[in-house]
Chain A
Amino acid sequence: MPTLLICLPLGAALVIWALPLNRVSAGSLAVLAALAEVGVWIQMLARFHFSRGGLQFPGHRNWFRDLHVSYHVGVYAFSVWLVGLTVVVMAACIAYAFWAGRDRTRAYFGLMLFLDAAIVGVFVAQDLLLFYAFFEAMLIPLYVLVGVWGGPGRIAATLKFVIYTMAGSLLMLAAVIVYGLQKGTFDLTTIGTSGSNWLFLGFAAAFAIKAPLFPLHGWLPDAYRESPPEVAAVLSGIVSKAATYGFLRIAIVKFPGPTHVLRTPILVLAAIGLVYGSLLAFRAPDLRGVVAYSSLAQMGLITFGVFAVNDLGLNGAVLQMVNHGLISATLFLLAGMVERRTTTGELTRIGGLARGRPALATMLMTTGIIALAVPLSSAFAGEFLILAGVFRRGWGWAAVGAVAIVLAAMYMLRLISAVLHRETGPSVTDAALDLRPAELGVTVPLVACLLALSAWPAAISGHSFAHHISTRSGWTSYGPMKSP
């Protein structure tokens, strides 16, 4: 089934590239494929045995034997949620792109579907080299999507993005080679743990850049500002989750010793990112800047949860990954919709959009309120779990996290009031209509997912590491993810 999830969008991409389809049929084929992908995922969710835990739906084929590399895929409970996040957000983004209209349609939708396949691949790969291949393959369509369809500063933005990311990825490649050859296999389910700090840092560098964590976020503002909105949504919503997934699946599971040794420096970086990102988001002059820097802050928070390395933190981290994926994707799409109406994202030039545009106001308000983690929202549940988890590592971390949540309220409320309220901005005309039905069709499902998670956050936080199946508690007992 994971193979199907990879091959379906890939096949659709090849069809779109190969056949001389017109704009409408290429776009609708892409949307159909993305929806079919969601359907396959729902099937998978329905057939997944959460009570059993462990790796499910495995698929295995030899790739090359002499170095023990294989095509090995499968899903754990927490990967199911991340795959779900991917397919849902990708479907919304592809649908939005279809509605918004992108020139060179076939190339565009083919690349989006290719990206879909690559991201799903990252979340289901159970072989180190395969994981690396998917991790890198994400970059290929992203490079072109930003570089061709992006804004005026796109060339510089893509260059920065690629050089940053590849610097991390290549360090990871060196670490993958050394680690795999030392252990004599590249299979993630059987490969033993390692105590090497250098290898850990090799992996951590790649994930820290992709996420990004604090000092390595130089590529982030440009890439998020210059991308088409739906690509920015994918970048911050799901591509960044590939990085935290990597921390979770590889860094802390395979390197328990180095995780313990290097926990404090990483938590410090995450804390700085959390506060610094929130402050920048509060000062950012434009809509996308706010979302971009809030993304930096949220990634710091998720890293908090992951590196707390206990049940509370990890459950919270997985929940928050899904939350933040949905939130930032929705916000970037809404930003795109606002920019389409006002031709700018500068907060000083927009304002008062709520007047006469109830649907836009409702969507932005709902997402923003969830994003600032009011009680009863899914983000509140996620952040609470993360803070509780990290509290066990020291109350100071939790204090920093709590401060950052206050800051989150500040920048989100500033965003909402700057866009929706205040006096009407100079770029806002009466011709700027409310959200069209198609735009609602894209954003409502995302917000509905968020509301559903707000109602039942335990759907994810209680079904990620299946702690009731074993006498040993929590994620450490989770099948092959045992730590020694």
Chain B
Amino acid sequence: MIHRPHVDWFALAPVNALLAVAGLALLTAVLVPRPARRTTAAALCALGYAVAFGFAVALYARSAHGHGVVANAFRRDRFAELAQMIVAGAGLLATGISLRERMRDDHVGEYYALLAAAGAGMAFFVGANNLMTLFLSLEWLSLSLYILCAIDRDLLGGLEAGLKYLIVGGFGSAVLLFGSALVYGESGHLDLAGIASANRPHDALLLFGLAMIISGLGFKSSSAPFHMWTPDVYEGAPTPVTAFMAAATKTVALVVMLRVLRTAFPQEAHLWTVAVAVIAVASLTIGNLAALVQQNVKRMLAYSSISHAGFMLIAIAANSALGGRALLYYLVPYAAMSLGSFAVVAARERELGVPVTFDNLAGFGWERPVLGVAMWTFMLGFAGFPLTGGFIGKFYVFSAAYKHGYTWLVIVGVVATLVSLYYYLGVVRAMFMRRTEDLQLAPIGGSPPRDSLLQSAVVVCLAVTVGSFFVVQPMIDLARHAANALAF
């Protein structure tokens, strides 16, 4: 008789809720008549994310002592639950942003099904506790995203984006898998804690495996030098998908990187902290320098997301409780700012029907003041100005780096911030300081389309971005409990 492990269904509830919704949304493609299909599928998807968020909150409250569940394949702890909350929040907002996307009706059911499935994969990924579940959930979320990128056949760059993401992402997954195999071969364990406790010699094979795992996760978090796919995919994919990827995929990739490195490789900390710091510097350098010359706003935001991966990797490189707090805190305003800024880009795109560049943003801030002010705030937040959570995030990250003894990393981060000002303020300049007469493209069809869901998603992002500046202590408490689950 096969021994069946005890299954803690509650721990899997966020994942299962999203999976169930994905199935239901797929059914709408068959059962619901075409006019109602979009709304029904979107409502289901939103419901799934809302329920997942609720479950994640409940789990956070009841998982003070983290433990492995389902034969230790999945970890139920506050670290995972906090990340699930971010993912679920991002998914909910992304659903709202997606609703009015100009897209043909024939694949809306699949779109929302995949959006929910990607969220489910992410919710599982952040709790993955052994190398098998790690790889499986990574593929789960990646496959959903590959299709989402290419789902809009009318979008010129969409197919290219999907294909490029598939190939490069597939390569990244393969690297991760190969690394896992090496680590397993050397340590004889699949589960993360087991790898750490295994009696293993310090040899090249294990280190090579470690390096490959870092690289594989580096691909997903789009940190340099594993970032080449990012600008093209972010530019080509439908903007709501880009928004979701920028916020959620990066969150889970970084969170999982911290968990894997911290849980499985504590003995190698002296090596991977340096490696991560180097990757952080590379991301900051490449992301910022490349962003300077972009004309397309989505590409600029893609490079900015690479440089932000660099900032958050600094927190991982610090390898301390403070670093963990810094990462988890930073992710919240970062996710809000990314989602919000891509949502504003989506709004402009829908107005004009062409890709958004710095030139055709001219006068946008005065035409649509709410979106304009929101975008302004997001840019200030990315640049680390006060009155946004980005400021506190950077402060925490730099503090963590300094306490770890990486003063040089603080200097690099400061210089990177200075460089980044040029292109972030470029957006503000384009939106507010040019006259509307400079506008090169007249909006199609008179007044801009009403899109209250997108508008409210942007306002929520704005509230989170600004609110996280004022309400720091509760958020840091959340982050502290979560980071403590990793036994710093």
Interface residues, chain A, CB within 8 Å of chain B? 62-67, 104, 107, 129, 132-134, 136-137, 139-140, 143-144, 147-148, 154-155, 158-159, 162-163, 166-167, 170-171, 173-174, 177-178, 181
Contacts and interface: CB of A to CB of B under 8 A. Distances in A.
A144 B428 contact: yes
Nearest to A17: B373
A124 to B, nearest CB: 15
B480 A66 contact: yes
Interface string B13-29: 00000000000000000
B399 interface: yes
Interface residues of chain A: helix, strand, loop or mixed (majority): helix
Given A155-B429, A177-B402, A181-B403, A64 B473 contact: yes
A144 B398 CA distance: 28
12 contacts: A66-B322, A66-B476, A66-B480, A67-B399, A133-B391, A139-B385, A143-B428, A147-B432, A148-B433, A155-B429, A166-B421, A177-B398
Interface string B367-411: 001000000000010000111000110011011001100010011
B425 interface: yes
Task: Sort A-B residue pairs by CB-CB distance and give the 3 closest, nearest first.
Answer: A133-B386, A64-B472, A147-B433
A132 B414 CA distance: 14
Given A133-B386, A136-B385, A159-B425, 15 more contacts: A66-B325, A66-B476, A129-B395, A136-B386, A139-B385, A144-B433, A155-B433, A158-B429, A158-B433, A167-B418, A170-B415, A173-B395, A174-B410, A174-B411, A177-B410
A171 B399 contact: no
Interface residues of B, number: 34
B208 interface: no
Contact of B418 (A129, A140, A166): A166
A177 B399 contact: yes
A137 B476 contact: no
Interface in B244-276: none
A137 B418 contact: no
Interface of B: 322, 325, 366, 369, 380, 385-387, 391-392, 395-396, 398-399, 402-403, 407, 410-411, 414-415, 417-418, 421-422, 425, 428-429, 432-433, 472-473, 476, 480
Contacts of B473: 62-65
Given A129-B395, A140-B380, A162-B425, A170 B414 contact: yes
Nearest to A139: B385
Interface centre among A62, A134, A143, A159 (most CB of B within 10 A): A143
B385 A64 contact: no
A167 B410 CA distance: 14
A163 B480 contact: no
B410 A181 contact: no
Nearest to A133: B386
B418 A173 contact: no
Interface centre among A62, A154, A173 (most CB of B within 10 A): A173
A144 B379 CA distance: 13
Contacts of A155: 429, 433
Contacts of A162: 421, 425
B407 A171 contact: no
Contacts of B417: 166, 170
A306 to B, nearest CB: 25
A161 to B, nearest CB: 11
Contacts of A132: 386
A14 to B, nearest CB: 12
B421 A137 contact: no
Contacts of A174: 398, 410-411, 414
Contacts of B398: 173-174, 177
A46 to B, nearest CB: 32
